[in-house]
Amino acid sequence: MNRGGPPPQQQQARGPQPGAMGKVPAQPTPAGAKKPPPLLLSQIPNISGQVLNLSSIRDQSKRELGEALDILPGGNKALVMDPKIIGLLNLVVDPQFLQSHGAERNYELKNGRLDTNCKNIIYIIRPKIKYMQMIKEHIIQHDIEKQSKRYAIIYIPRRTILCDRVLEEEGVAGNEFFNIKNNAVYLDEDLVNPPQGSGAPGQPAAPPPAAPGAAGAGGKKLPFPLHSNDKVFAEIRDTNFSVLGGILHKKAKDIDEYYKRFQSSQSPAAIRDFVKKLAQYQQEHNSLRIHTNVTEKILDITKSPGFMRRIECEQNMLAHINNEAVERYLEECINKKDPMYKILRLLVIYSLTNGGFKPKQLEFYRREIVQSYGAEAIMTLNNFEKLGLLCRAKESKPTYPLIKQDLNLIIEDLDETNQTDIAYVYSGYAPLSVRLVQAATKPGGWRSIEQALRLLPGPTFEEVQPLPQGAQSNAKSDRKPITLVYFIGGVTFAEISALRFLGRQEQANRDFVIITTKLINGDSFVDGIVEKFGEE
Amino acid sequence: MEVTSSWISIGEWYVSKKEIYTMSWDVDLQKNIVIAAPNGGPIAVTRDRTKIVEANIQTSKPLIFLYTASGQPVSQLIYDGNIIAMDWIENERLVTVTSNGTISVYNIFGETLSQNNYYDLIDHEDIIDCRISNSGIVVLTNQFNFYHIELFKSERPTKMADQYKEELDREGPSAWAVVESVYSTQHGSLGAELIVATRNSVYNVDASRADNQLTAQHYVRIVVSPCGKKMACLSPNPNGEQYDLYIYKTDFSSQLAKYMGVAKRTPHALKWVGSEGVMMTWNHSMRYFEAGESIVVPSHDPESRAPVFVVTEIDGLRIISEGISEFFQRVPSELRDIFDFGSGAPSSFLYSAAADFANHDPKADEAIRQIRANLDIAVGTCISAAGYEFSRAEQSRLLKAASFGKCFLDSYNPDAFVATCRSLRVLNAIRHFEIGIPMTMRQYNFLGPETVIRCLIERRKHLLAWRICDYLKIKSDFVLNHWACTKVRTNLPEDVLSQVIIEKLEAVPGISYANIASAAHNARRPNLAIKLLDYEPRAADQVPPLITIGQHEMALNKAIESGDTDLVYLVLLELKRQSGLTDGFLEIVFSRPVALDLLISFCKQKGDVVMLKKIYSIRGQVKETGHLHLSEAFSTDEFDIRHKHLAMAGSAYSQSKDKDDLVYAKLCEDQAKLELLQKELENQHEGKEFLGISLSDTIYQLILLGEHKRVSKIKSEFKVSDRRFWWIKIKALSQVGDWEELHNFAKEKKSPVGYEPFVEVCMDFSNPVEALRYIPKIQDHVNRAQAYLQINYFREAAETAFKEKNLDLLNFIARKCTNPEASNIIDQMRAQLSK
């Protein structure tokens, strides 16, 4: 943030004030200017001007998808989609594109009947066995009701032998079935897999405070795409929630002054200049209004005593201090039956930072959780134990304090307004993953943190990949090197913000491109491990 | 020999006829038919069945003999049926078509690559004529229908339009040809296009329409040029005694040339020479036509009565006779510039200057000075001319001339020189009579080095191919691969084979072994195949063939090593399909943790509880069995089923040797006990649902119902901690708004959770008055002050801080204070503390 122009220190020194920052100047309607245009942001993010030319890859995905859709010729197509894929699809193609390939209706794939007038049914799904069983039900239902349909499946990212076999065993892999392999990759801007929904990046492992929607007029929820096409969002998305208010306030003042300047100077030249910039300011103005509303909702949460206590607890654990207070807080949360995901997340942090629980302690939490949240939690807790996220303390000392020290994970006296370290994203805690990237890109690489690497689970290695026979490097010598960071399993928005911060540092002298299998937050991470019954 | 000695003058230019090979075969061309492949390709020879030959065992066999262009025998093949036509297509494949619709494709070794019968697909009509080309095969049936058949594709033959049919007499079309260009890269993608001549007219025919071109000529022969733009048409002239030759554009837009009364007899062959001229042959005599001029081309052996055969090349014509093979072409302008008598071209001067220089003749200097201004052109001409030459000595002279000229140029780009030398070196190697590919530079550039190398490996000239790759810096793995595939079909012992193959291939990282293994498998050498597959670097190419060979365990190991779960599933499901859930299968899986995990995950996703239980029980995984029962219990609302599974889960856990797992048994026991209680509660409180909710929630519900006695019984029975119990009760009482009961509860004894929770629930329901009853009881003075602040009791908050002499807290309160009166008091306190 704060690139170019003097930092708006005055506003920020006072700190965010919910009342003050919420005021967006009323928009005057100058003579000759039309009503502000409705806020229209393309749903598909612009990714062409970035470090890598990702748009060609997206075009490829689009083309592949088009070809896959054409496998059933003609129109009259119903698209039945994996609920988890709909959002991704929106980032690659628009509804018109789907229509131009004959799609007339869209459905979400779920258990139960599929009633459609369309003759051609195309499933766009991830290769999951349960989906195969749902599809089988559809086919059998249509067959019994003598509806003549044609079916096709588009698998993302790839067709698997497992799904083929299940279809075969279910007896529906007949002639009427087309299976298409579609290795589509979905990308956005400098990271592969795009930001969806809102969520201030700076929240310390807290759940995303606002739903993916902004409160519109009359309290109705409106969907609102968040990506770099939106100038205001591009400026605030990598900031900590604690400085969000100040920045928006400053922006509001800028726009206000712009309008005021117009009112005070009435010379023709000034008016011409005003009208020229009007559209851009109006767009920003509209966008600002929405972000201000969202920010207020975020601040309602981050200023609540409950949220404060929780951050305090998390920061105590990460700093490895005040264990007793932490334990008291954990027990209280269970006793008052706070959401179970919150408890699980806190327990995981506790276990990881303390090198596990004392035997009695683990048994205690297990009992307390089972009695409070139900016996189903037995299986969930067992899943966490299997993954080593909850464990019994070993005889050796906990390793976290050493790692914390070696990698400088905790930054005391952090100035959130004047960022000097990635730790700003978690209000003082530097994400370990990004610290590893940071170390790798420094001269000397990982050799300087060998001890910490030994303490972390799993092996570490460096591999230099030679160009295959006949291939040539097309790297241009006059550009910064590109570092590709691949998060397998998922990455949080805060980690992304931290990497972006690294990329902005002069001394890094490189561009980062992030690839990930999933965008996660604390809750979605826990959700993947929680045992579910009857629905899977 | 003089370059010009092979030149024949025609009009204002020259053609040349040069010997390229003395044929090493022994073939009687009077009794045989010769069909040669273009681009210096091989020659197929078969007996001419229209000629009466003394019958013996050799001549009566339906044989086709295959030779290289230099007459080296390669192979022979026995064919079946009545062959209507045969010809060569790209990659030196020989195609034969029989009258009953069988199309066979052979390689140069006479091995059948494919054989398909199309009789059913062309309405059981007999084939009477046929044209074979890269874009497919067009056949004419005895019903005078044309069909276009694409090779190596599964599409049905396309029937061509037939509006010309009414004009046909009993003889059918008098002539026809396929319009196509050898330069087209998309063979047949737009379907075939034909020119069909009837007695009165000519039609342009494709799959959808036949357009009459409204010419009144009656053509008996139509031949399209290699470029696809021109056609030569032979027509008997009106008095019927002689033939006229016309050259048209294939779109009939214009006539390019006509030659009247050129022949008394129909020629044996009418072939294009490149796309410039046309050659007619009658037995051993030949006549050439180009740009309105024509000449008789002398035969190399005037004594011989044996016929000659000709094959069109893109830049000329190959003439094959019993004794020799020749290349006929229009003399390229570069060679004319240099060698034509009295040529004044700079290149001619350069050529002789270079020779003079070699002889230390000072004339060289003078000549160079004379052409100084055009020296770069002269050098370029000499380089190009070298490319046209077959004679190595002449190539060398021309290149030396170019090199000599280059010395006088300051900055001459050497690329053309280097490329020509490089290409000539390759060409000279493949032109050697033992290889026998008399390819010209233009043909070589047209095909590209890769295609030429592929031809070589098809001919099993692997060493030469490999050296060319090396020389041209082309990836050679396909050569080695083909070599190895050929090698495994030989009779060498397996250990020797595997050793030579692996030794050679190991030098090339990333080379694929899978298709070599598959060749070995097809050659009934399974052990060799397995050994080779072990080296395959790509698991996706390695695992499936291992399954085919029946090496399931090895396939499974390789799949696991690859980390590709899909491959592991491929093997597992194949194994399961073949052997079912036998002990053998389970043993293979159990010994590999990854495979086991994946199998279990598969069962879980499919909900295959039976198989899971079997796996756990065999492996004695009591904890997992317990989990399985638990999940079955939690997947239903039926009390009895839940109860049964809880009991089974408990008993499974209690069998565990791990002491930790006994905790689970206890939890199950508690849960069963809780559910019994919940069932009882449901009976007592009609309409209330208890089954399945947690213990805390049960207590909470009972407090809401006022069942305090029962609650305390449950509390002790399930050992609920005091702290939790207090929280539940505080929450429940606030929920129903029973503030009096809450107050009584607070007085019951000293709260184990402090009094903050009381304040918290009051504030949750926005009840500051109630909250005030508990705030003074809060022990921690900071919390107490904060609580006062929450209800805007600034003075009380300040007093709390003041009493504890906590100035920081007091300052904090001062900032929060919105009551001016209180602010004054607070300021006094601050002043007092700051002293």
- CA-based torsion, B107, B112, B113, B116: positive or negative: positive
Which of B175, B69, B165 has the alpha carbon at shortest distance from B131? Answer: B175
pLDDT tens profile A305-322: 889 899 999 999 999 999
Token duo for residue B270: 């009418």
How far away is chain B from the Cα of A393, in angstroms, using its nearest Cα?
14
Query: Quick check: A363 and B663 CB within 8 A?
Result: yes
- In this predicted structure, what is the pLDDT of residue A204? 30
Furthest CA-CA distance within chain A:
80
- Residue A269 burial (CB < 10 Å; 0-12/13-18/19+)? exposed
Query: Quick check: A379 and B627 CB within 8 A?
Result: yes
pLDDT tens profile A207-247: 222 333 333 344 566 667 676 667 788 788 888 887 888 88
Does B127 map to a domain?
yes
Question: From the list A305, A372, A382, which residue is nearest B696 (CB)?
Answer: A372
Q: At what angle do helices A129-144 and B593-606 cross, to 10 degrees?
A: 30
DSSP line for A108-170: E--SS----S-SEEEEEE---HHHHHHHHHHHHHHHHTT---EEEEEESS---HHHHHHHHHT
Asked if B832 reaches chain A (Cβ–Cβ under 8 Å), the answer is no
Query: Quick check: A470 and B667 CB within 8 A?
Result: no
Task: Point out which residues pair with A519 in neighbouring strands.
Answer: A491
Measured in whole angstroms, the distance separating CA A240 from the mean position of its chain's CA atoms is: 15
Does B58 map to a domain?
yes
How far away is chain A from the Cα of B742, in angstroms, using its nearest Cα?
16
Asked if B712 reaches chain A (Cβ–Cβ under 8 Å), the answer is no
Task: Point out which residues pair with B87 in neighbouring strands.
Answer: B95
CA gap B722, B29 in Å, rounded:
114
Return residues 177-236 of A near B (CB < 8 Å).
none
Asked if B635 reaches chain A (Cβ–Cβ under 8 Å), the answer is yes
- For residue A178, pLDDT beyond 50: no
CB contact at 8 A, A323 and B712? no
- For residue A201, pLDDT beyond 70: no
- Residue A37 burial (CB < 10 Å; 0-12/13-18/19+)? exposed
- In this predicted structure, what is the pLDDT of residue A326? 95
Query: Quick check: B606 and A129 CB within 8 A?
Result: yes
Region of A219 (left: φ > 0; alpha: ψ -120 to 50; beta: rest) is: left
How are beta strands A120-125 and A150-155 bridged, if at all?
parallel
Question: From the list A331, A376, A469, which residue is nearest B634 (CB)?
Answer: A376
Does B86 map to a domain?
yes
- In this predicted structure, what is the pLDDT of residue B774? 94
CA gap B86, B436 in Å, rounded:
21
Token duo for residue B360: 């230390």
How far away is chain B from the Cα of A201, in angstroms, using its nearest Cα?
29
Query: Quick check: B630 and A367 CB within 8 A?
Result: no
CA gap B519, B485 in Å, rounded:
6
Domain count, chain B: 1
How far away is chain A from the Cα of B632, in angstroms, using its nearest Cα?
8
Does B55 map to a domain?
yes
- In this predicted structure, what is the pLDDT of residue B58? 58
- In this predicted structure, what is the pLDDT of residue A185? 40
Return residues 353-392 of A near B (CB < 8 Å).
363, 366-368, 370-376, 378-379, 382
CA gap B611, A403 in Å, rounded:
44
CA gap B406, B25 in Å, rounded:
44
CB contact at 8 A, B493 and B467? no
The DSSP secondary-structure symbol of B412 reads -
User: Chain B residue with minimal CA distance to A335?
Assistant: B724
Query: Quick check: B667 and A378 CB within 8 A?
Result: yes
Exposed e or buried b per residue across B587-615, where buried means at least 16 C-beta atoms within 10 angstroms of its C-beta: ebbeebeebbebbbebbbbbeeeebbbeb
- In this predicted structure, what is the pLDDT of residue A48? 52
pLDDT tens profile A381-431: 999 999 999 999 887 888 999 999 999 999 887 776 777 888 888 888 999
- Averaged pLDDT score across all residues of chain A: 76
CA gap A242, A400 in Å, rounded:
27
CB proximity list for B328: less than 8 A, separation 6 or greater? B15, B16, B17, B18, B273, B279, B288, B297, B310, B316, B317, B318, B319
Query: Quick check: A336 and B757 CB within 8 A?
Result: yes
- In this predicted structure, what is the pLDDT of residue B397? 94
Asked if B753 reaches chain A (Cβ–Cβ under 8 Å), the answer is yes
Token duo for residue B745: 């509860």
CB contact at 8 A, B334 and B384? yes
Asked if B566 reaches chain A (Cβ–Cβ under 8 Å), the answer is yes
CB contact at 8 A, B541 and B516? no
Instruction: Enumerate domains of chain A plus CATH numbers.
Output: 55-188 (3.40.50.2060), 212-302 (3.90.830.10), 305-398 (1.25.40.850), 415-464+475-523 (3.40.50.1910)
Asked if B763 reaches chain A (Cβ–Cβ under 8 Å), the answer is no
Which of B438, B394, B402 has the alpha carbon at shortest distance from B419? Answer: B402
Q: What are phi and psi of A458, to 5 degrees?
A: 85, 155
- Distances in Å between the alpha carbon of A351 and those of A346, A375, A376, A452, A458? 9, 22, 21, 18, 18
Question: From the list A129, A372, A379, which residue is nearest B694 (CB)?
Answer: A372
Which of B361, B383, B373, B375 has the alpha carbon at shortest distance from B407? Answer: B375
Question: From the list A160, A305, A373, which residue is nearest B694 (CB)?
Answer: A373
Does B67 map to a domain?
yes
CA gap B96, B102 in Å, rounded:
8
Q: State which amino acid sits at residue A249.
A: H
Query: Quick check: B667 and A128 CB within 8 A?
Result: no
Does B66 map to a domain?
yes
Query: Quick check: A375 and B671 CB within 8 A?
Result: yes
Which chain B residues have a beta carbon less than 8 Å from that of A467?
Answer: none
Which of B523, B456, B514 has the alpha carbon at shortest distance from B491? Answer: B523
Residue of higher predicted confidence among B310 and A448: B310
pLDDT tens profile A332-386: 999 999 999 999 999 999 999 999 999 899 999 999 999 999 999 999 999 999 9
How far away is chain A from the Cα of B649, in angstroms, using its nearest Cα?
12
Q: What are phi and psi of A122, to 5 degrees?
A: -120, 125
Question: From the list A331, A370, A371, which residue is nearest B723 (CB)?
Answer: A331
Does B689 map to a domain?
no
Does B752 map to a domain?
no
Other beta carbons within 10 Å of B251: 12
Where residue B44 sits, what CATH number does that domain have?
A: 2.40.10.480
Residue-range definition of the domain harbouring residue B113: 31-136
How are beta strands B255-263 and B243-249 bridged, if at all?
antiparallel
Which chain B residues have a beta carbon less than 8 Å from that of A167?
Answer: none
- In this predicted structure, what is the pLDDT of residue B773? 93
User: Chain B residue with minimal CA distance to A128?
Assistant: B605
CB contact at 8 A, B148 and B133? no
Look at chain B and count its residues.
835
Coil/strand/helix, residue B740: helix
Chain B contact probe: residue of A162, A303, A334 with most B CBs at under 10 A: A162
Q: State which amino acid sits at residue A12.
A: Q
Please list the ranges in chain B whose pLDDT falls under 70: 1, 51-60, 154, 185-190
- CA-based torsion, B637, B638, B639, B643: positive or negative: negative
Return residues 490-509 of B near A (CB < 8 Å).
508-509
User: Chain A residue with minimal CA distance to B718?
Assistant: A371
One-letter-per-residue 3-state SS of B665-689: HHHHHHHHHHHHHHHHHHHHCCCCC
Query: Quick check: A533 and B663 CB within 8 A?
Result: no
